[in-house]
Copies of this chain bind each other. A is one copy, B any other.
Amino acid sequence: MARRVTIADIAAAAGVSKGAVSYALNGRPGVSESTRAKILAIAGEMGFVPNRAARSLSVSSAQAVGIALRRTARTLGIEPYFMELISGIEATLSAGSFGLTLQVVDTVEEELEVYRRWWAERRVDGVFLCDIGVGDQRLDFVADLGLPAVAVGGPVEGARLPAVWHDDAEPCREIMEYLYALGHRRVARVAGLSRLLHTTIRDAAYAETTAVLDFESMTTLHSDYTGEEGARITRRLLSSAKRPTAIIYDNDVMAVAGLGVAHELGLDVPEQLSIVAWDDSPLCRLTHPALTSLTRDITAYGSNCAEVLLTLIGAEAPSTEARTFSVQCRPAQLSPRGSTGPAFA
C-alpha cells in the first residue's frame, strides 16, 4: 500500500532533474553514462515501475492492443482455435510489454462501436480483426478510423490493412486427392459459415478439384461450426440413399460430433466412413479413432499476427504501404490418423 515511487522520488534521491531520470530510464541520450548508471541503480533499488497512464498520456500511445470476439461464450469455449490464437498473440505481445485487451461482443454493430470507443479513448493502439468475412465492413471501418489493425485471415484484396493468412486452397486439393486415392468417390463436406472468407475460398477450391477428378458426388452443406449443427448435418448425410463414404468438416468440433453420429448409427469409422477435420486441435486425438486432420499451428499464427500488428503500430509508414506487411503462412498439412481409410462402399 506504500505510495508508489515516481521519477520525482528517484530524481530527488539521485540529485538530478526528473528529465534526466526519464532520459536515463529510457536509454536515450542526454545524460552521461555515470549519471545514467547511478539513476538506474537507484531506480532499481527503489523498485521503480513507471505509471502506465502517465506514460500513455505523454506519448499518446496505450501500449496495448485489443481483440473483440463476436462469438457466444459457448462457441468460444468449445472452439480451441480462439484460446490458442490468443495465447500466441499474447506471447508476442508481452515480450514487447504490450497488453492485450479483450472484449466479447454480440453483433457487428457492437463490435464497430467497441473499435470506435477504444480508439477514441486511446485504450488500444491497434486491433486484431477475427473471422474475416466476404466484403467485411470492418476493414474499411477501422481504416477510415485510422485505427491500426491486422486482419487475422485473408487474403483481403485491396484492403487498406495488412493480413496474416494461410492458403486454404492447396490443403483442400490435398485432401481431395488423398480421399480419391483411397477410392472415395462420394464425398461430403460440412462447411463453415458461408459468409466467412475462408469458407468461400475452400468452396472454390473443392469445386475446382471435383472438376478435375471424377468424383461421383461432392455435397457441401454449410453450418455454424457448432457440434449440434455438425451432428444434425451428419445425420442427414448418412441417412441419404447414396450416403457419402467420406466427410470433410471445416472444424474439429463438428468432426468430433460427426464421429459421434457415426457411432450412433452403428457405422464403423474408417471401415464404412472416413472423416477429415480442419484445425487439428488436441480434440482430434481425444477420440477413437483419432481424427485425420489438417494441421496448422494456431499459436504460432497468433504470434505472427501480433508481430505484424506491432510492426504496423511502430511504423510511420502510410497506411497504403501497410499491405506490404501482409504475411502468408505455411498452409495446413494433412495429418492422417485412424479416421480415414480405403472406401469399400
Which residues from chain B contact A231 at a C-beta distance below 8 Å?
A: 286
Interface residue total, chain A, C-beta cutoff 8 A: 67
Q: Is A336 an interface residue (CB 8 A)?
A: no
A99 to B121, CA, bound (A): 12
In the complex, the answer to whether A102 meets B77 with C-beta atoms within 8 Å is no
Which among B83, B120, B298 is the interface contact of A4 at CB below 8 angstroms? Answer: B120
Tell whether, in the assembled complex, residue A123 and residue B101 are in contact, meaning their CB atoms are under 8 Å apart.
no
A196 at the A/B interface (Cβ < 8 Å)? no
The segment from A23-31, A53-61, A205-213, A216-224 found at the interface with B is A53-61
The minimal Cβ–Cβ distance linking A101 to chain B, given in whole angstroms, is 5
Given A78-B281, A100-B101, A286-B253, A299 contacting B73 (CB threshold 8 A) = yes
Asked whether any CB of chain B lies closer than 8 Å to the CB of A243, the reply is: no
Contact check, B84 vs A120: say whether CB atoms are below 8 A apart.
no
A96 sits at the interface (CB 8 A): no
Q: Is A117 an interface residue (CB 8 A)?
A: yes
Q: With A283-B78, A298-B77 in contact, is A99–B87 under 8 Å at CB?
A: no
Over the window 255-293 of chain A, the binary record of Cβ atoms lying under 8 Å from chain B Cβ atoms (1 yes, 0 no) is 011011111100000000000000001110111101000
* A83 in contact with B84 (CB, 8 Å): no
| Contact A287:B256 (CB < 8 A) given known A52-B122, A122-B4, A123-B52 | yes
Q: Does A15 contact B (CB under 8 A)?
A: no
Identify A103's interface contact among B56, B94, B227, CB under 8 A.
Answer: B94
Chain B residues in 8 Å Cβ range of A51: 57, 121-122
**Closest CB-CB distance, A185 to chain B, in whole Å?**
27
**A87 contacts which chain B residues (CB < 8 A)?**
72-73, 76-77, 104
A80 proximal to B (CB < 8 A): yes
Question: Does chain B have a CB within 8 A of A82?
Answer: yes
At the interface, yes or no: A47 with Cβ under 8 Å from chain B? yes
**B residues less than 8 Å from A227 (CB atoms):** 282-283, 285-286
Q: Are B73 and A88 in contact (CB under 8 A)?
A: yes
Q: Which 8 A-B pairs have the closest CB atoms?
A: A73-B87, A77-B80, A49-B120, A53-B56, A260-B288, A77-B84, A263-B288, A1-B146
Identify 5 new A-B residue pairs, CB closer than 8 A, beyond the known A47-B120, A53-B62, A74-B84: A52-B53, A53-B53, A90-B103, A256-B287, A262-B288
Pull 28 A–B residue pairs with CB atoms less than 8 Å apart, ordered by A.
Answer: A49-B117, A49-B120, A49-B121, A51-B57, A51-B121, A52-B62, A52-B121, A52-B123, A53-B56, A53-B62, A54-B57, A56-B56, A72-B87, A73-B88, A73-B299, A76-B87, A77-B84, A78-B80, A78-B281, A78-B282, A86-B104, A90-B102, A100-B101, A100-B102, A101-B102, A231-B286, A253-B286, A260-B286
